[in-house]
Amino acid sequence: ANPFGSGNKFLLAQEGGSINIHGAPRVSWTKLGAIADNGHTTITLADAVDWEVGDEFVIAGSNHQSSFVGPYVDYAEHKKISAISVDGRTITLDTAAFGAIVNRHFGDTAPVTYTSPPVLPNHPNGQSWNYDQRAEVGLLTRNIKIQGDVASEAAKFGGHVIVQRGSGTVNSGSAHISGVELFRMGQKQILGRYPMHWDVMLGDAAGQFFENSSIHRSYNRAVTIHATDSVRVENNVVYDTVGHAIFFEDGSEEGNMIIGNLVMSTVKPLPGDEMLPSDNEFDEIQNRTPASFWITNPNNEIRDNVAAGTQGTGFWFIFPIYPTGMSSTLPDAITYFAGRIPYKTDLDVFDNNVAHSCGSGFDVNDSIYFNNPGFVNHSIRKNKPWEPMNTAVLTNFVSYAAHIGIYAGIGNEKVVFDNAICSDNNEDIRFAAYHTLRNSLVVANTPAVTFGGGFRRGYIIYDGAGIVEDCHFARFNETVESIISGAGAAKLHANHLFSGFTHDGTGLPRVRINDWSTDVHSPGNSWGMAVRDVDGTFWGTAGSTITSNHPFMVLPNDDITPAGTSASANARLSPFRFGHLLFFISGPNYPASTLTYIKREANGPTRPATIEFKLGGTVQGYKQYPLIVQDDFSYTLRWDNQNLAKSIDLTFGDVEPIDSTIIRLKSIANNPGFGFTGAMTEVPTFSALRTATTTSFFKSGNDVLVRFVNVNKKIVVSFSWS
């Protein structure tokens, strides 16, 4: 009959209807109190529970993947209770039902404490972090069970619970659900058919909740909040679900509370089985789908949750420009959500959340395509910045045993991770944005746990430039580890800033980069890394810059840093500050063009490099280099085919107010139709150029010399001709 478009196998509340189901209160989840290892038939819990013989539960995996690629293996284990001790902490497994323990699950008796040395001005007594890697244990059984029938499994067509506003303005449905087990729920690839679903409630859902319950073996998500404000999803156990698990659908949703949930084993749909492209769109170092917590609007309370064993990403902040879906098409929704711009919205709360044994722990600075010509609706739009009005401070986040602990796409400087812990990840921090890691702990390998996973890298020099303030790096002592590592990037900005740095190693912290001393023209941007040691706490010289040994970065009198290990042998310590120059040449149908970029030192040699542009080819239409922005340095750009390449755009950034540099553009001043745009002034002499206090240019014969003087973080100017 399909009443109200709900299909079949459903519970529906609409037009004033209400679903009120309350099972017996139970301890929803806890942690192990001792290691559970292969062959064990009993486990010890950290806390007393009220679970019973016959109850089923799941233990989160303590696994780590061995590489960034290849099939993901989740080591969570589904078990059944045959006996439980009087104190409620020792469980005997029903081995006839699900066998003994197969995988190792960490469960030490207490968290590990790390303390930084008492040397930082803001922390004169040192900082301490309590780090808890004990595997979570979640109860699946409840005394009220709602389930799909036995035929559900073959067709992946289970039951669903849906709460809707309906056609009236005050007759919305409502749901108050606690102590319930949802099993064999969700309907594969069918929009709107989820185990628990608030559907276009607008503002009529305040006070409604789904709490102290479990969802397991779902064929389509776990909990979906769609165009709905102010519901509470708290203290639930979610296990073995397909696609994004806790799912904010349109980006319009605000004021919701996602608190204390344990989400385990979020599974990527097989190719062709996805409901939305984002469910299985990417398996990249930077972007891994699906997400256990898919957050499309930051104005929600997200705290005390755990994402464990996620095939994709634990927590993904992915904010559309405007609300999508029904939030942008239904007349009532358009009116209600007017003015909501998710990617410009301030953060409500993100606190005390944990991601472990995931592809990625946390991802931010992406968006969603919707009604964009040429793009599939609900596909992922990479590298769209989050631009809140106020700095977003994400507190007390923990990520361990993941490929990447925290990743941030290209964006601005308004995101701060405060008091985070990243440990046992292949890479702990990879910022493609001006984001900040503050008051945080980064650990290479935890001594009590063998996670595997090969190499460990603390901070990746990526697009950036990121900021690391008052952070402690621990156990980066083995020869395979590095606290800083270089990496290629689309826009490798200068001046990753380190200050208040401490570590527990001896000697200089290890920096791992390639040897660029002879491979001057190598493609990519890895050689352009520039890390400012702001206060001297990293390599001992305040205001110096750690660079690669590429000829454009290193001068003859730069320190040949006594790194002490081969892993740091390719890094250098420069006394100079660096900025970032990006230039782009365009014109109608111009062929491959060669551009020469020269650094000229005051009393030293020139350092040329040749770069090839290919319009529409594999080489990008722009190039970039770091620049020394102190003392007497100038740079020259020259290129062929100026009659075809009709303009050049220059962007100067990543600098401080006192920084400046001079760029000579060869042979463009006498071209017909020569002109410029941007905030700069033409001056009559080279002497006037050198003393200019604002960005200016001077024509020297047929050359143009531009002096960039920093006023803002970024300066953009353009020259064109006909």
pLDDT category, 456, cuts 50, 70, 90? Answer: confident
Lowest-confidence pick of 150-164, 350-364, 670-684: 670-684
For the cut 90, the answer to whether the pLDDT of residue 412 exceeds it is no
CA distance linking residue 579 with residue 464, whole number of Å: 13
Lowest-confidence pick of 48-52, 182-186, 350-354, 575-579: 575-579
pLDDT top residue among 592 and 503: 503
Compute how many other C-beta atoms are within 10 angstroms of the C-beta atom of residue 448.
10
For the cut 50, the answer to whether the pLDDT of residue 619 exceeds it is no
Report the pLDDT value the prediction gives residue 540, as an integer from 0 to 100: 86
Report the pLDDT value the prediction gives residue 410, as an integer from 0 to 100: 83
CA distance linking residue 631 with residue 137, whole number of Å: 61
User: In terms of residues, how long is the chain?
Assistant: 722
pLDDT category, 2, cuts 50, 70, 90? Answer: confident
Q: Over range 501-526, report the average pLDDT.
A: 76
pLDDT category, 616, cuts 50, 70, 90? Answer: very low
For the cut 70, the answer to whether the pLDDT of residue 43 exceeds it is yes
For the cut 70, the answer to whether the pLDDT of residue 246 exceeds it is yes
List alpha helices for 629-677, DSSP H. none
Which residues have C-beta within 8 Å of that of residue 276, sequence separation ≥ 6? 243, 378
Q: Virtual CA dihedral for 374, 377, 382, 386, nearest 10 degrees?
A: 120
Report the pLDDT value the prediction gives residue 617, as an integer from 0 to 100: 41
DSSP string, 226-278: EEE-S-EEES-EEEEEES-SEEE-SS---S-EEES-EEEEEEPPPTT--SSGG
Taking only the tens place, the pLDDT of each residue in 58-77 is 999 987 755 555 567 789 99
Report the pLDDT value the prediction gives residue 519, as an integer from 0 to 100: 67
pLDDT category, 478, cuts 50, 70, 90? Answer: low
For the cut 50, the answer to whether the pLDDT of residue 618 exceeds it is no
Report the pLDDT value the prediction gives residue 414, as an integer from 0 to 100: 85
Taking only the tens place, the pLDDT of each residue in 331-378 is 999 999 999 999 999 999 999 999 999 999 999 999 999 999 999 999
Residue pair 603/555 in contact (Cβ under 8 Å)? The answer is no
Which residues have C-beta within 8 Å of that of residue 339, sequence separation ≥ 6? none
For the cut 70, the answer to whether the pLDDT of residue 233 exceeds it is yes
Q: What average pLDDT is seen over the chain?
A: 88
Q: Over range 393-418, report the average pLDDT.
A: 92
Q: CA 357, 359, 361 angle in degrees (round to 5)?
A: 75
Q: Over range 129-153, report the average pLDDT.
A: 95
Residue 452 exposure: Cα atoms within 13 Å on the Cβ side:
9
Helices and strands of the chain, counted as H and E runs: 4, 61
Report the pLDDT value the prediction gives residue 699, as an integer from 0 to 100: 95
The answer, yes or no, to whether the previous bond of 474 is cis (omega within 30 of 0) is: no
CA distance linking residue 152 with residue 156, whole number of Å: 5
Report the pLDDT value the prediction gives residue 453, as an integer from 0 to 100: 54
Q: Of 75, 15, 86, 18, whose CA–CA distance to 50 is shortest?
A: 86
Helix (H, G, I), strand (E, B) or coil at 504: coil
The answer, yes or no, to whether the previous bond of 331 is cis (omega within 30 of 0) is: no
For the cut 90, the answer to whether the pLDDT of residue 101 exceeds it is yes
Residue pair 585/647 in contact (Cβ under 8 Å)? The answer is yes
For the cut 50, the answer to whether the pLDDT of residue 532 exceeds it is yes
Q: CA-based diameter of the chain, in Å? A: 93
Rg of the Cα trace of the chain? 28
As a 3-state breakdown, the chain gives helix, strand, coil percent values, each rounded to 5, of: 5, 40, 55
Report the pLDDT value the prediction gives residue 515, as an integer from 0 to 100: 81
Q: Over range 106-121, report the average pLDDT.
A: 78
Taking only the tens place, the pLDDT of each residue in 562-586 is 544 445 678 888 888 999 988 887 6
CA distance linking residue 721 with residue 591, whole number of Å: 17
Q: Which two tokens stand for residue 640?
A: 């062929």
For the cut 80, the answer to whether the pLDDT of residue 629 exceeds it is yes
